[in-house]
Chains A and B, each alone.
Chain A
Amino acid sequence: MKMTLANEASSLSPLALFLQADIVVKLVMLGLLAASIWTWAIIVSHWMKMRKASQQSAAFEREFWKAGDTEEFARMHKDSEVPTARVFQAGMFEWRRSTGKPNIDREGTRARLATTMGAAIAHEVDRLGEKLNILATVGSVAPFVGLFGTVWGIMRSFSAIAAQQNTSLAVVAPGIAEALFATAIGLFAAIPAVIAYNRFGHGLDRIEARMTRFADTFHATLSRELEA
């Protein structure tokens, strides 16, 4: 029994390493594998969303500065999902409500416009980055979880030495290989998560800066309208 297990472990096949592992180490490996799949799912979907958001926002901005009639343009993009369009809609909504009354409070309108558009930007950033914290969590926790599995597996290997009264490497080696596999999976999950978290955090900052710039210019335009 021991010999066949050792032979399987020597093939370095993940399946063999997983099958011969202790139940605790197995749970750790399964959890880390799930974390890795989840991480990559988030990475792929987030990358697609970010690319779409930045491309559509750029296109929307170009269209906006070309468009002559703001009201008409707002009607066209009423149900747009583009982040910049939502900021624009929030601004337009507040503008209509503030300027619909007979007495226009200019200072109050300006402050309200700035606040609503700021809130819309924050909301969009939240929506885009809602899953980045999962990447951060996986990136920082997965190595420790893997390490836990490794420590547990090595403890088990040493207890096997004690039970067999045999210190030869053949007794310990399969257990240690299987235990180290847990750390390997942990790092396998954590490294892409950390890289993706940093990259996406940077990308999100750029999108936020772009939306803020747009909101500021739009605010300036509306503010000019108020003076007229």
Chain B
Amino acid sequence: MDRADRAGLGVALIGHVLLFGALSLSLLRPTPKLPPLNPAIEVAWVDAKALQTAAPDAVQEASAPPATAAAPAAPMAPPEPIAAPPPPKPVPAPPQLKAVAKTPVKAALQPTPKPKPVAAQKASAAPPKKTAAAAPQRTSRLGGMGAELSQAATRENDRPGTGRGTAEKGSGTPAAKTAAQLEASFIQALFVKIKKYWRAPTGVDAELLRSNLVVTLNRDGTIGTVTVVSQSGENENNANLKALHAERAVNAVRRAGPFELPPEHYAIWQSLGPITFDKRLN
């Protein structure tokens, strides 16, 4: 072992120790994850049923005038004094609406155009006798809407990116839509658990079979009854699988229980369905 050998060994040892230390300490630490390029989009499960009842219910909207909200809205919405004196004619109603709509933060503008033509139409369609009686109600409603819009605007300032959801809430979502949406989301929650136990029968045309089940649940989340209300998609090839399909669907639900659902919405989920069981279940 001469000088060159010793030098070589020293260089090799030092190099390995340096490399090992660098790798052990920090150099190969996983790079921090990049922030997502697009902000997250909120997605809600909406059933076919929810879509049918999603239209705003004019009666419900009118029957629930947020009169209490009109008072706190007064300092927040500057054009409120203009709306306060009840106008005798329905004609000035649209400019009022526009004024109210423009005053809050511009981001809240989106939901306002929709009710405007409806209100204007209704107002013009109303008989002239009733205008005096209708006008105060409308102004209070407008005031309420202004308050809700400003609330929505403040919420929007707190949470950017979710403007749609808050505006929707702010403009007074009908209760029927919420219930349908909730039921759809509960059914989706059930599917997550049921999928583990659901195995569709296999055979000729077995994928065409559908079983519709209604599930009643007890307050503690356990399963009350599971009823097959209807079946579809049968033909002569899969007629013998029909009973098996229904039986497996019922078994899947029974084995998936009990479910943990929010107790305050028991009225909605005490009876869920009809739930359609097909081959893939989604």
Contacts and interface: CB of A to CB of B under 8 A. Distances in A.
Contacts of B30: 10-12
A46 B9 CA distance: 11
A14 B5 contact: no
A44 B24 contact: no
A209 to B, nearest CB: 23
Interface stretch (B12-20, B118-126, B192-200, B242-250): B12-20
10 contacts: A10-B30, A14-B24, A15-B20, A37-B13, A38-B12, A41-B8, A43-B8, A44-B9, A45-B5, A49-B4
Contacts, number: 59
Nearest to B28: A12
A44 B29 contact: no
B11 interface: yes
A13 interface: yes
Interface in A29-56: 33, 36-46, 48-49, 52
A117 B6 CA distance: 31
B139 to A, nearest CB: 62
B29 A46 contact: no
B11 A44 contact: yes
Contacts of A42: 8
A47 to B, nearest CB: 8
B8 A33 contact: no
Interface in A4-32: 10-16
A220 B25 CA distance: 63
Interface of B: 4-9, 11-13, 15-16, 20, 23-25, 28-30
Given A12-B29, A40-B15, A45 B9 contact: yes
Given A14-B23, A37-B16, A41-B13, 18 more contacts: A11-B30, A12-B23, A12-B28, A12-B29, A13-B24, A36-B12, A36-B16, A37-B9, A37-B12, A37-B13, A40-B11, A40-B12, A44-B4, A44-B11, A44-B12, A45-B7, A45-B8, A49-B4
A13 B11 contact: no
Nearest to B5: A45
Contacts of A48: 4, 7-8
A41 B28 contact: no
Contacts of A16: 24
Given A10-B30, A11-B29, A12-B30, A40 B20 contact: no
B125 to A, nearest CB: 64
B23 A40 contact: no
A48 B10 CA distance: 13
Contacts of B12: 36-41, 43-44
Contacts of B28: 12-13
A11 B23 CA distance: 10
Nearest to B25: A13
A46 B16 CA distance: 18
B18 to A, nearest CB: 12
A40 B29 contact: no
A44 B7 contact: yes
A16 B25 CA distance: 11
Contacts of B23: 12-14
B8 A44 contact: yes
Contacts of A36: 12, 16
A11 B26 CA distance: 9
A130 to B, nearest CB: 11
Contacts of B8: 40-46, 48
Contact of A33 (B5, B9, B16, B29): B16
Contacts of B25: 13
A29 to B, nearest CB: 11
B3 to A, nearest CB: 8
Interface in A72-122: none
A38 B12 CA distance: 7
A43 B8 CA distance: 7
Nearest to A45: B8
B4 A15 contact: no
A145 to B, nearest CB: 17
Nearest to A47: B8
B24 to A, nearest CB: 5
Given A48-B4, A49-B4, A40 B16 contact: yes
B121 to A, nearest CB: 60
Interface string A128-145: 000000000000000000
